[in-house]
């Protein structure tokens, strides 16, 4: 049976063991609590950073949206200005519509039609051009009149509202060019008709010469 001294020793050993174990557990608990506190502080800091990030993101979105709206307004304004300018180019100014060369083009076209009609009638009635020659003359006059009609159609587009987007200066230059083309056609009509009539006249003289020589021969 154990003595009282042995019991005392065992009791002291157990007491020291439990005190040591308690100290270890207390130390571990403090360490665990400290770690939890650190993690909690870290999470709080992360949440604060996220809030700052979200605020910056929201501000950036608002700035971007406002910027895009500003760009849209600028582009829309420029488009309207451009459209208004283009629409104004479709309207013919009074100086253009009263330009004297417009009437001159119309007069020349009428003269060309008169020249070709008269020449064709005389050539057909002369009796001294064969069918192939008359057909060629008619085809030349036909192509000439088609070209003149195209010139007058272009003139109508230049001198009325709507079809073309042109400044007044551009319309003036276009009318000048159309006049040059019509004058060229008029000169050609006169020259071709004159040559055709000269050919017909030469045939008449040849026929007269033949008749004269025959008459002289018969007289002898």
Domain boundaries, the chain: 90-219
Burial 49-77 (b: 16+ CB within 10 A, else e): eeeeeeeeeeeeeeeeeeeeeeeeeeeee
Task: Please state at what angle helix 100-126 crosses helix 131-158, rounded to 10 degrees.
Answer: 170
Determine the pLDDT at residue 172: 92
Rg of the Cα trace of the chain? 55
CB 148 within 8 A of CB 128: no
**Gap between the Cα atoms of 136 and 111, Å rounded:** 21
Determine the pLDDT at residue 119: 92
CB 122 within 8 A of CB 200: yes
Determine the pLDDT at residue 1: 47
**Gap between the Cα atoms of 148 and 209, Å rounded:** 40
Determine the pLDDT at residue 5: 58
Q: What is the pLDDT of residues 87-106, one digit of tens each?
A: 656 787 788 888 999 999 99
Determine the pLDDT at residue 198: 86
Determine the pLDDT at residue 64: 67
Regions in the chain scoring below 50 on pLDDT: 1-2, 24-26, 29, 32
Taken in order 202, 203, 209, 212, is the CA torsion positive or negative? Answer: negative
SS (H, E, C) the chain: CCCHHHHHHHHHHHHHHHHHHHHHHHHHHHHHHHHHHHHHHHHHHHHHHHHHHHHHHHHHHHHHHHHHHHHHHHHHHHHHHHHHHHHHHCCCCHHHHCCHHHHHHHHHHHHHHHHHHHHHHHHHHHCCCCHHHHHHHHHHHHHHHHHHHHHHHHHHHHCCCCCCCCCHHHHHHHHHHHHHHHHHHHHHHHHHHHHHHHHHHHHHHHHHHHHHHHHHHHHC
């Amino acid at each position: 049976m154990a003595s009282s001294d042995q019991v005392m020793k065992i009791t002291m050993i157990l007491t020291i063991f439990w005190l040591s174990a308690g100290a270890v557990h207390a130390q571990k608990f403090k360490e665990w609590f400290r770690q939890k506190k650190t993690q909690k502080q870290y999470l709080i800091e992360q949440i604060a950073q996220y809030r700052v990030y979200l605020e910056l993101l929201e501000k950036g979105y608002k700035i971007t949206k406002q910027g895009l709206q500003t760009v849209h307004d600028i582009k829309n304004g420029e488009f309207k200005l451009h459209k208004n300018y283009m629409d104004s180019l479709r309207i013919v100014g009074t100086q253009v519509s009263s330009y004297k060369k417009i009437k001159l083009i119309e007069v020349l076209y009428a003269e060309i039609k008169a020249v070709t009609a008269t020449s064709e009638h005389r050539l057909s009635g002369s009796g001294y051009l064969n069918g192939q020659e008359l057909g060629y003359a008619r085809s030349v006059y036909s192509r000439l009149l088609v070209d003149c009609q195209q010139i007058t159609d272009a003139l109508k587009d230049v001198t009325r509202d709507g079809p073309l987007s042109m400044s007044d200066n551009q319309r003036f230059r276009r009318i000048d060019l159309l006049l040059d083309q019509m004058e060229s056609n008029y000169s050609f009509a006169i020259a071709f008709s004159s040559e055709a009539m000269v050919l017909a006249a030469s045939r008449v003289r040849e026929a007269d010469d033949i008749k004269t020589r025959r008459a002289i021969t018969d007289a002898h």
